[in-house]
Amino acid sequence: MMLKIDFNSVKDIGKNPKGLFITWFVNWIIKPFTMYLIASLFFFIIYKGFISKELALEYLAGAVLLGAAPCTAMVFVWSKLTKGDSAYTLVQVASNDLINIL
């Protein structure tokens, strides 16, 4: 997929950044809180009798991190399967990975 990217078209993404802002909002505002709620349900209610509270807190932290950090390889796969814009996918994945590092 990377071989098919026209890197000159990457510059054009800045002309219409709405898609990136939506992606950032979903990845960094919606997904961590959704994962927190779902993981809390499982670790503190459903599995309450099976794991200690300390272990549940550790699992909760890991689940939130896992929910917030999208899998880079799968983003490229889904983009390819849906015949998405490979230049946009590259910028979206690269920007999310940079935010992950920060």
Tell whether the model's pLDDT for residue 66 goes beyond 70: yes
Output the CA torsion sign for 22, 74, 46, 53: negative
Q: How confident is the model at residue 3 (pLDDT cuts 50, 70, 90)?
A: low
Dist. CA 64–CA 22, nearest whole Å: 20
Dist. CA 32–CA 18, nearest whole Å: 21
- For the chain, give every domain's residue range: 19-69, 70-102
Q: Identify which of 82, 84, 43, 76 has the alpha carbon closest to the alpha carbon of residue 62.
A: 43
Mean pLDDT, residues 73-80? 84
What pLDDT score does 15 carry? Answer: 80
Q: How confident is the model at residue 47 (pLDDT cuts 50, 70, 90)?
A: very high
Total-model pTM: 0.69
